[in-house]
Amino acid sequence: MKRGASRLLLALFLGCLSLGVAFPSEISQGCEAAFQTQNYSLARTLCETEARRGDNQASYWLAQMMLEGLGGHKDEKAALQWLKRPAMDGCIDAQVKLVGLYERGVSGNPEYKQALKWLLRAAQEGDGFSQGRLGLYYELGLEVKQSGLLARQWYEKAISNDDKNSYLRLARLYLEGNGVEEDPIKAFELTQRAANLEFPPALFMLGNLYYQGIGVKQDKRHTIILWEKAAQMKDASASYALGNLYDRGDLVHVDRKKAFQYFQQAAQSGVPAAMHRLGRYYEKGWAVARSYDKAIQCYKDASSFGYPPSQYRLYQLSLEDKSIEDGQEYLERAVRGAFPPALHELAAIYRKHGGADGKKKAVQLELMACRRGYKASCEANQTEKSSTPPKSL
C-alpha cells in the first residue's frame, strides 16, 4: 500500500478520536505504531489481540487493515463485525464504512435495512455524506417511504455540510419536480455552484445542461469547455461524451484519433460503452492499427459488465469465428438485456426452427423490440399479421 493511503487511514481514524470516542490508548499504542511504520503484519497481530480484549481503537485499526488486505488476506465480512464497536461508540467513519459494506452485501445480498440504521446515526451526527445518502434513500424509497420532500430536506442539510453530490441530487429533484416545484433555473444554479467547487461530475452535468439548453440559453461551445475540463479531472462520463462528439463530428470536426483517446480514458474508468466503442475502433482500424484480437477482448470486457451491444457483437462474430466460444450464450444474454437487434435475431431463429410455439415466441420478441423502436421488428410483426389468414367463423 502506498504511503499516502496509509496516511489517509490514519487521518480517518484521528477523525474518530476527535469525536470524543473513548478508547484505552495505552494498550493499543503498539498496534498504532506498527501501522504507522507500515509493519502491517505485526500491526494486524497486535490489533487483533487488543481488539479481542475490548479495545475499540484496535478494533477500528484491525477492520481497516482487513478492508485493505494489509498484513494478511482481505476479509470484508470480518471487518464488518470489527467495525461495529467503534461505530456504536460514535465513530462516524466506522458508521459510513458499515453502510458501504451492507449496501454491497458482503454477507450475501444487499442489506439496506441495516445500512439505513447506520446512515441515520451518522446523518444525525451531522455527517454530510450520510445526510446526502439518506436523502437518496428517501428519493428512491429504499427501506423508507418514498418522499421527494424528505429527500430535499436531507439534501439541503448535506449541502450545508459540504456534500458536493447533494447539489446534483437536489438539482435532479428540481428538474423532475419531485418534492419541489419544477424549476430548471434552480437546477442549473445548484449545478453551477457544485461546478464552481471544481467537482468533476458537476462540470459534466453543467455541460449537459448547456448542451440541451435546460435552465440556461443553449451554448454547445461552452459544453465542450466544461466537458474537457471534467475529462482532464478523470471524469469518465465527460470522457465518453467527448469521444462521441469527436466520433460523430458534433460541434467539432470528426477526429477519430481524439475520439479513440477519450473512449480509452473512459474505458479505463470502467465505462462498458466506451470499451465497446474501442472494440469497434480496433475491428475497423479507425485511428489505430486494426486488431481483431484486441477488438474481441474489448467486447469481452464490456460483456463482463453486462453490456448487451457487446454481447450481441460477440454472438455475430462467433457465427464465423469458431474460436469464440458460447456464441449462443452471448445472444441469450443480450436478449435478457432487451437489446433490440438480439431480440430480432432470436425471433428469426424461433420462427425458422421453433414450430408453432416458436412462432408465438417470435411474435413476442419482435413486439418487445418494436416497442423499443427497432424498425425491422415492427415490419416483421406487420408482415406476420398480414400473412396470417383470418379465423373462420
Q: What is the DSSP string of 344-378?
A: HHHHHHHHHHSHHHHHHHHHHHHHHHHHTT-HHHH
* Spatial distance between the Cα atoms of 231 and 7, rounded to a whole number of angstroms: 27
pLDDT single digits (tens) 252-286 = 999 999 999 999 999 999 999 999 999 999 999 99
DSSP letters of 60-117?
Answer: HHHHHHHHHT-SS---HHHHHHHHHHHHHTT-HHHHHHHHHHHHHTTTSS--HHHHHH
Helix, strand, coil % over all residues of the chain, rounded to 5? 75, 0, 25
> Does residue 243 contact residue 255 with C-beta atoms inside 8 Å?
no
Domains and CATH numbers, the chain: 1-121 (1.25.40.10), 126-233 (1.25.40.10), 234-337 (1.25.40.10), 342-382 (no CATH)
Q: What sign results for the dihedral spanned by CA atoms 124, 126, 130, 135?
A: positive
- The closest of 96, 81, 132 to 19, measured between CA atoms, is 96
| Distances in whole angstroms, Cα of residue 204 to Cα of each of 91, 192, 199 | 34, 10, 9
> Does residue 72 contact residue 41 with C-beta atoms inside 8 Å?
yes
Mean pLDDT of the 124-138 span? 97
pLDDT single digits (tens) 279-299 = 999 999 999 999 999 999 999
pLDDT at 381 over 90: no
Residue type present at position 3:
R
pLDDT single digits (tens) 14-47 = 556 544 443 444 444 688 889 889 999 999 999 9
Residue 387 CA, distance from chain mean position? 46
Give the alpha-carbon dihedral of 273, 276, 278, 283, to 10 degrees.
-160
Note the pTM of the prediction, 2 decimals. Answer: 0.83
